[in-house]
Amino acid sequence: MEEAVQPDHPYDVAIIGGGPAGLTAGIYAARANLRTLMIQGASTVSQITITDMIENYPGFPEGINGFDLVERLRKQAVQFGLETLSEDTSSLEPGRWGDHPAWRIIAGGKTIEALSVILATGASWRRLGVPGEEQFIGRGVSFCATCDGPFYRNREVVVVGGGNTAIQEALFLTHFADKVTVVHRRDRLRATGILQDRAFANGKIAFAWNSVVREILGKETVEAVRLRDVKTGEEREIPTEGVFLFVGLIPNTDLVHDLADREPDGAVRVDRAMRTSAPGIFACGDCTVTPLRQVITACGDGAVAANSAQLYVEDIKGTAY
């Protein structure tokens, strides 16, 4: 489908973000006959697109690749009339369209007017903030096992983290690496039971418990990591050629930092209808305050946000049922 061109009247809904939350919002908004535009970042991708296998999304008992799932959602949304624009959004500010309050979006030098906005900008991987991390990104430090795992065939790598993503990616890396050491600051994992069982049963996976990374070492590329035991303070180095970081997410919400209420970590506060504190701005998925960041919850959030946006637009147009 060709990219959207700004019409001579505003969009009913502009969705910023092209992951599962944004695409589900697009399906529901377009299906409700709202003129809907989804602005997906030109230089960013949804976290789920780099996930090798999703096996807990209902209806796919054999599992599905993250990229394939997003493409299915995209195809379905476009069939209902969703328009798309691949540009990075640089600003969002209040405006008016005639008698109606509206929002003005700048994306890739284009100005888009919309009566409502659904923020579905997701989150980015948190950094460790240790020496060597920034220096070796792309030269041994990675945030995507699916992308970079094949480069570490028959080598030793480290995975930092103890949640679902960390353990899932560690298991994926065993298809290539000879040894995968999971570094976790606690003495037990927080990943779901089935993933823990698989990790503990995999002979290629070792664990560095109660440990944090103090420094990533190397010359041209990563050669080792220095770990510190959080209980004893003892430090040690372990050799590795790759360090994969999965230590949490930071919501991508700078776009609304002066528009909508946020938590200290940046997550946008929403009510049960996905309304933010800014009238006409709704939010869904990983960029919001949520107890669970999963594809299924992001999609549910997106559906609710689209329904709330529909009711809001119909109300300001005077067409509410």
Q: Are strands 211-218 and 222-229 parallel, antiparallel or unpaired?
A: antiparallel
Sign for the CA dihedral angle at 259, 264, 266, 267 comes to negative
**Whole-angstrom distance, CA of residue 105 vs CA of residue 108:** 10
Is residue 287 flagged as an active site residue? no
Is residue 148 flagged as an active site residue? yes
Residue 115 in tokens: 């009566």
* pTM check: above 0.85: no
Residue among 12, 52, 144, 299 flagged as catalytic: 144
**Whole-angstrom distance, CA of residue 86 vs CA of residue 80:** 19
Question: Greatest CA span in the chain, whole angstroms?
Answer: 67
Residue among 12, 52, 148, 301 flagged as catalytic: 148
Q: Where are the alpha helices (DSSP H) in 35-89?
A: 66-79
Q: Where are the alpha helices (DSSP H) in 62-190?
A: 66-79, 145-148, 164-173
Alpha-carbon distances of 248 from 143, 160, 163, 169, 256, rounded to whole Å: 11, 10, 9, 14, 21
Q: How much is the pLDDT for 45?
A: 60
Q: How much is the pLDDT for 248?
A: 87
Q: Where are the alpha helices (DSSP H) in 214-272?
A: none
Q: What angle do CA 105, 106, 110 make, to 5 degrees?
A: 115
Q: How much is the pLDDT for 1?
A: 42
Q: How much is the pLDDT for 146?
A: 78
Residue among 8, 12, 68, 147 flagged as catalytic: 147
Q: How much is the pLDDT for 254?
A: 95
* Positions of the chain with pLDDT under 50: 1-2, 5
Residue 134: phi and psi, rounded to 5, are -65, -40
Is residue 187 flagged as an active site residue? no
Beta strands in the chain (DSSP E): 11-16, 36-40, 83-86, 89-97, 100-107, 110-119, 123-125, 141-142, 156-160, 179-183, 205-208, 211-218, 222-229, 235-239, 242-245, 249-251, 281-283
Whether 23 and 306 have beta carbons less than 8 Å apart is answered as no
Q: What is the pLDDT of residues 251-266, one digit of tens each?
A: 999 999 999 999 999 9
**Residue carrying structure tokens 């003005």:** 104
